[in-house]
């Protein structure tokens, strides 16, 4: 029954945002509900060994915004074509980091981009399955895999320790087969 103030503060903030008000009654009820949720459904602690890197975070944010714009324009183009040939499929991508937090962050960022949706996350081995549009050939599958690798690199460089960044770079060099296209049937 220990109190985790950051968890309670975060849930209270979400509660107030959902209600669209910061009145004393909303805040107090949010604190109470957050405490009950924290006691009844305790989450395991997250052991984050990295550190926040502002420059890496800004690069990651810029990359995300660029992906959002480019993908939105692609979807807009598809919406106005007379004959649409989506060529959708599932692409398997092996990740190079061995951290739950980074895997979830990569999956969430990829799901934000229009045209890609993470449909399965595998913990061992670290792997994502993405549903993607316009998979015409092996080159387009390779493009999706490179996009995932760029997002993973951005996440590690924004939130990873020096050791994690170094291990990521070594893993990328050690597994050149991860860059070859793999499309699931």
pLDDT single digits (tens) 14-29: 999 999 989 999 999 9
- Regarding whether 17 and 83 lie in a shared domain, the answer is no
Shared domain check, 145 and 75: yes
Is residue 67, in this structure, part of any structural domain at all? Answer: yes
46 within domain boundaries = no
Residues 71 and 136 in one domain: yes
Domain hosting 22: range is: 5-40
Question: Does one domain contain both 132 and 100?
Answer: yes
In the chain, how many domains are there? 2
| Position 131 in a domain | yes
Residues 121 and 175 in one domain: yes
- Same domain as 101, residue 14: no
| Separation CA 108–CA 103 (nearest Å) | 9
Do 116 and 144 sit in the same domain of this protein? yes
Within this chain, do residues 159 and 75 fall inside the same structural domain, yes or no? yes
Q: Where are the alpha helices (DSSP H) in the chain?
A: 5-19, 24-40, 54-80, 100-112, 138-159, 162-174
41-68 residue pLDDT tens? 887 777 788 899 999 999 999 999 999 9
Region 147-170: mean pLDDT is 93
Tell me the C-alpha distance between 160 and 144, whole Å.
23
On whether residue 72 sits in a domain, the answer given is yes
Residues 85 and 171 occupy one common structural domain: yes
Cα 136 from Cα 33, distance rounded (Å): 49
Nearest alpha-carbon partner for 105 in 54, 45, 39, 60: 60
Does any domain span residue 99?
A: yes
What is the distance, to the nearest Å, from the Cα of residue 106 to the centroid of all Cα atoms in its chain?
3
- CA gap 92, 78 in Å, rounded: 24
Is residue 49 a part of any domain in this protein?
no
105 & 22 share domain: no
| pTM score over 0.95 | no
The CA-atom distances, in angstroms, between 183 and each of 21, 35, 79, 88, 145 are 47, 45, 25, 11, 10
Looking at the fold, whether 162 and 80 belong to one and the same domain comes out as yes
In a domain, 48, yes or no: no
**Over the stretch 102-144, which tens digit does the pLDDT of each residue have?**
999 999 999 998 888 999 999 989 999 999 988 888 898 999 9
């Amino acid at each position: 029954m220990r109190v985790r103030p950051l968890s309670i503060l975060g849930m209270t903030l979400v509660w107030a945002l959902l209600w669209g008000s910061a009145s004393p009654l909303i805040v107090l009820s949010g604190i109470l509900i957050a405490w009950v949720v924290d006691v009844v459904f305790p989450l395991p602690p997250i052991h984050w060994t990295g550190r926040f890197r502002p420059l890496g975070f800004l690069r990651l944010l810029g990359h995300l915004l660029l992906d959002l714009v480019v993908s939105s324009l692609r979807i807009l183009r598809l919406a106005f074509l007379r004959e649409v040939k989506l060529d959708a499929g599932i692409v398997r991508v092996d990740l190079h980091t061995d951290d739950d937090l980074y895997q979830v962050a990569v999956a969430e960022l990829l799901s934000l981009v229009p045209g890609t949706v993470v449909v399965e996350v595998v913990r061992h081995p670290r792997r994502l399955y993405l549903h993607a549009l316009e998979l015409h050939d092996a080159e387009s599958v390779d493009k999706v895999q490179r996009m995932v690798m760029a997002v993973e690199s951005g996440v590690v460089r924004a939130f990873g320790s020096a050791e994690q960044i170094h291990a990521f770079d070594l893993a990328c060099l050690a597994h050149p087969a991860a860059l070859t296209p793999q499309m699931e049937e």
